[in-house]
């Protein structure tokens, strides 16, 4: 199985104070106990690292880099995917939808992803199979 990791899931796993920490921890343990390929994009990594650094400091960034990112396959956003994401963002014309989300949607559609580990409702709106099911 191939699971795409969103920023919301990564932050929930790492932050015990996050309102989604418990369900994230449960899904994380289940995913790690199976033969699952974990995928995310370099845009998700950038967003996650920026938020970790801002909210929790460099030790959180080090933990993420040394413990989590090493087990995640990175789909690098190329120019075509970036342009597709930007087109989708502009077409959606929604303030709360991000370029990171729109590029993630493109990667998921192109990459044979089975499920998306997220707490962001935009992925459900796009029709993706999300975990935990919400």
Q: pLDDT tens digits for 64-116?
A: 999 998 999 999 999 999 999 999 999 999 889 999 999 999 999 998 899 99
Selection from 10, 2, 1 nearest residue 119 by Cα = 10
Selection from 48, 21, 35 nearest residue 114 by Cα = 35
Sign of CA dihedral 115, 119, 121, 123: negative
State the architecture of 2-131 in CATH terms.
Answer: 3-Layer(aba) Sandwich (3.40)
What is the reported pLDDT for 111? Answer: 82
**In the predicted model, what is the mean pLDDT of the chain?**
95
Is residue 134 predicted with pLDDT exceeding 80? Answer: no
- Cα dist from 4 to 17, 56, 90, 91, 96, whole Å: 23, 24, 23, 24, 21
């Amino acid at each position: 199985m191939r699971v795409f990791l969103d920023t919301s899931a990564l932050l929930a796993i790492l932050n015990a104070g996050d309102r989604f920490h418990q369900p994230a921890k449960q899904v994380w343990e289940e995913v790690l106990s199976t033969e699952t390929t974990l995928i995310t994009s370099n845009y998700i990594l950038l967003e996650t690292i920026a938020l970790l650094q801002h909210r929790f400091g460099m030790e959180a960034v080090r933990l993420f880099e040394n413990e989590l990112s090493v087990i995640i396959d990175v789909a690098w956003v190329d120019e075509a995917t970036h342009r597709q994401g930007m087109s989708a963002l502009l077409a959606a014309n929604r303030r709360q939808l991000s370029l990171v989300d729109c590029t993630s949607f493109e990667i998921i559609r192109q990459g044979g992803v089975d499920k998306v580990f997220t707490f962001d409702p935009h992925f459900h709106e796009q029709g993706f199979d999300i975990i935990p099911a919400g």
